[in-house]
Chains A and B, each alone.
Chain A
Amino acid sequence: MGVELIFKIAGIGIVVSVLNQLLIRSGREEQALMTTLAGLIVVLLMMLNEISYLFQTIKTIFNL
């Protein structure tokens, strides 16, 4: 269903934090912030579909 989603997000998180450290060490703080934001946006978009699907099914099952 979406189990690989968990590890995809974990992977993105690790890559972004490594990139962040790399860019900070090499003196480019702004780009480090940019990559963090970019990674966060990607993760949020991936989560969006899953959450909207969840709320849709809850609305149908509990007929809210």
Chain B
Amino acid sequence: MDIMQIIGIGISGAIAAILLKEYKPVYSVCIGIITSCIIFLLLLAEIQYVFDVIGAISLRLSLNSDYIRIIIRIIGIAYLARFGTEICRDAGQNAIAQKIELAGKIMIVVASVPILTAVLNLLIGILPT
């Protein structure tokens, strides 16, 4: 999926959204949501390819694959939270956007607990107690 096609879709979506903003603002938010969904769905193959490469590299370096999986999960949570936040900002609801961002941060901290415990155990092992 080359970049020109994605730019074309984005610009046409933006123009359609602006066109409808003065008459029916609801539809401009809907167009914003749909355009961002379509552009992300067009990028699926590339994202899958990147994650496969990361998995292969981590296997070759015999890294612990749990941490890689946690990192990928955190990327997903961050992307989704950003997706919801920006749509709420498009709709003009900054308070809701702030709450979604807070939820995203908390979910990321929750998801990264195993890594934190691993680091702590490592430190405790090193410190001469």
Contacts and interface: CB of A to CB of B under 8 A. Distances in A.
A10 B38 contact: no
Contacts of A57: 41, 44
A17 B23 contact: yes
Interface residues of B, number: 33
Nearest to B80: A58
Contact of B38 (A6, A12, A17, A63): A6
Given A1-B42, A10-B20, A51 B37 contact: yes
Give the interface centre of B34, B41, B48, B51 by most chain A CB atoms within 10 Å: B34
The binding surface of chain B is classed by DSSP as: helix
Interface of B: 9, 12-13, 16, 19-20, 23-24, 26-28, 30-31, 33-35, 37-38, 40-42, 44, 47-48, 51, 69, 72-73, 75-77, 79-80
**4 closest Cβ pairs, A-B complex:** A62-B76, A13-B27, A17-B23, A10-B16
10 contacts: A2-B41, A3-B38, A5-B38, A9-B16, A9-B31, A13-B20, A36-B24, A47-B34, A50-B34, A50-B41
